[in-house]
Amino acid sequence: MIAPSILSADFARLADAADSVAGADWLHVDVMDAHFVPNLTIGLPVVQSLHKATDLPLDCHLMIDDPDRWAPGYAESGAANVTFHIEAARDAVQTARAIRSAGALAGLSVKPGTPLEPYLELLREFDTLLVMTVEPGFGGQDFIAEVLPKVRLAREQVRAGHLRLFVEVDGGISADTIEAAAEAGADVFVAGSAVYSAEDSAAEITRLRTLAAEVHP
């Protein structure tokens, strides 16, 4: 699945930005609080408005402190998937359960320097694992290939039947890097600048999806 990130879109025209990627699978929404990450973006009211303005499932990526308090509200506001960071969570299990009982998929994200092994058991409570392939905070950064062993590990766990999750990658995904991520076992690909800086965003989504689909991990 391809999930364009509206972080790279024109924030004054978010409905148009959603329309321009109507052929995508999810619309990735980066929520940043200037605490967990240095950048500040958008929050719940914008997600609520966006949900009314598009049929695309919203994939909310919370890069915020205290996700235990805020994450369930995104699920209640109609997000299809709500991902928060393990580095910020106090009670990840309880928060995942609250997201799920509000009707969304629950996602857990790990920064590039955060290992996956300690969380394999915990991930049984989740529907999505978001492996950051850049340091969270900004679009347009270079893909960090060194994190791909985590993608591989997650895919192995899914194959072995220990976990049932989407394995999502986020950061620096483009036509140059998507095949490496797919080969490692990712099945959801966030792409911000690659999609929104393309002359034809719809064509870029198709190109990325085709490149990923041709890889057999």
Footprint on this chain of ligand DX5 (rule: CB under 6 A): 5, 7-8, 28, 30, 61, 134, 136-141, 170-173, 190-194
Nearer to Zn ion by Cβ, of 163 and 189: the residue is: 189
Q: Look up tokens 């499932």; give the residue.
A: 57
Nearer to ligand DX5, 40 or 103 (CB): 40
Judged by beta carbon distances under 5 to 8 A according to partner kind, the member of ligand DX5, Zn ion, none in contact with residue 191 is ligand DX5
Asked if residues 106 and 67 have their Cβ atoms less than 8 Å apart, the reply is no
140: partner contacted, choices ligand DX5, Zn ion, none (Cβ within 5-8 A by kind): ligand DX5
Burial annotation 189-199 (CB, 10 A radius, 16+ → b, else e): bbbbbbbbebe
Least Å distance between CB 197 and Zn ion?
16
Minimal distance, residue 62 CB to Zn ion, in Å: 9
* Catalytic (active site) residue 30: yes
Q: How far is the CB of 33 from ligand DX5 (least distance, A)?
A: 12
For residue 110, list its beta bridge partners. Answer: 131
Q: Phi and psi of 204, rounded to 5°?
A: -65, -40
Closer CB to ligand DX5, residue 28 or residue 207?
28
Nearer to ligand DX5, 30 or 204 (CB): 30
Return the residue nearest Zn ion (CB atom): 61
In the complex, least distance from residue 28 CB atom to Zn ion, rounded to whole angstroms: 6
Q: Which single residue brings its beta carbon nearest to ligand DX5? A: 192
Of the candidates 68, 170, 176, 200, the residue annotated as catalytic is 170
Question: Applying CB under 5 A, which residues contact Zn ion?
Answer: 30, 61, 170
Per the annotation, the verdict on 66 as an active-site residue is no
Residues tagged active-site: 30, 170
